[in-house]
Amino acid sequence: MKAEIIAVTNQKGGVGKSTTAEALAEGLHIRGYKTLLIDLDPQGSLTLSAGADITKPTSYDFLTGKTAAHEVIQKRNSQNEFKHRADIIPANGTLATLDVALAADISKHKRLKKKIAPLISEYDYIIIDTPPALGIHTLNALSAATGVLITIRADIFSLQGMEQLCGTIGAVVEDNNPSLEPTGVLLTQHNPRTVIGREMTEMAKERAAEIGTFVYDTVIRECVALVEAQSNQQSIYDYAPNSNASADYSAFVDEFLRRKGGGNG
């Protein structure tokens, strides 16, 4: 077994990136796949919403070599309140100083790939959340990943962020990770009934095709239950199983697996 490593990213913020990373990981876990979440965003939004213990070692300690890979993973199946949740490597603000901490390492953008090597035989999927900017964190994620999931809203700024990201992906593929491939584009916070929503969906499909990928048929509708679930540190599937968000993300996970040949959804 060798894990699929999916970086969830966009260089534009506010596009449901962390929410999607968590929902994808938890959805895969629910379906029986052994899944690890890695938070590489110094803001730590995913860590907070996932209810991870921020007093324990984080991805910073892991990447700088202060803590071994297996020691930094929080195996939440052993904790009653999180027994249905994926494993996680959390993050906190210290991660913002990673570039400085690794200044002497000429291959610092490949640090994650090296550090997670002992883990890829133990998981089916490793899902990486990245910050909404190009930097050492995102480059590490792209250098380690086998696939990139791009999240966007139906607006011109998200499309611009997607285009910028695709240039970065191309550079990473050429320089150090030739196996990296786009794993589709997911529309989030979406209202398909509006004219602008429909127009932007078509534009997203055109842009995705230009870079050799696709837009998922499933879209994630706006839903207040997502914010409430995060505030309560619960997955959307546990907090509001009958909500639009739970239905949408569940359908997305099924489509994700189906397109990869790993599910019947």
The per-residue pLDDT for range 37-53, each reduced to its tens digit, is 999 999 999 999 999 98
What confidence category does residue 194 fall into, taking pLDDT thresholds of 50, 70 and 90?
Answer: confident
> What distance separates the 2 farthest-apart alpha carbons in the chain?
52
* Beta strand residue intervals within the chain, DSSP E: 4-9, 35-39, 87-89, 125-129, 147-152, 181-187
What confidence category does residue 168 fall into, taking pLDDT thresholds of 50, 70 and 90?
Answer: confident
Beta strand 87-89 pairing with 4-9:
unpaired
What confidence category does residue 79 fall into, taking pLDDT thresholds of 50, 70 and 90?
Answer: low
State in Å, rounded, how far the first CA of the chain is from the last one. Answer: 22
Residue 133 DSSP label:
S
Flag whether pLDDT at 78 surpasses 70. Answer: no
Q: What percent of the chain clears pLDDT 70, i.e. is strictly above it?
A: 94
Mean pLDDT score of the chain: 88
Residue 131 dihedral angles phi and psi, to the nearest 5°: -75, 160
Rounded to an integer, what distance in angstroms lies between the CA atom of residue 88 and that of residue 127? 9
What confidence category does residue 122 fall into, taking pLDDT thresholds of 50, 70 and 90?
Answer: very high
Residue 201: name the closest of 187, 212, 189, 214 by CA.
187
The domains found in the chain, sorted by start residue, are: 4-260 (3.40.50.300)
Mean pLDDT of 97-123: 92
Mean pLDDT of 168-184: 87
- Asked whether the beta carbons of 3 and 123 are under 8 A apart, the reply is yes
Flag whether pLDDT at 197 surpasses 90. Answer: no
Mean pLDDT of 134-155: 90
Flag whether pLDDT at 265 surpasses 60. Answer: no
* 247-260 pLDDT per residue, tens: 999 999 999 999 98
DSSP for 173-237 reads HHHT-TT-EEEEEEE-SB-TTSHHHHHHHHHHHHHHHHTT--B-S---B--HHHHHHHHTT--HH
How high is the pLDDT of residue 176? Answer: 86
How high is the pLDDT of residue 207? Answer: 82
Least confident of 12-16, 65-69, 209-213: 12-16
What confidence category does residue 165 fall into, taking pLDDT thresholds of 50, 70 and 90?
Answer: confident
In terms of Cβ atoms closer than 10 Å to its own Cβ (0-12, 13-18, 19+), residue 103 is exposed
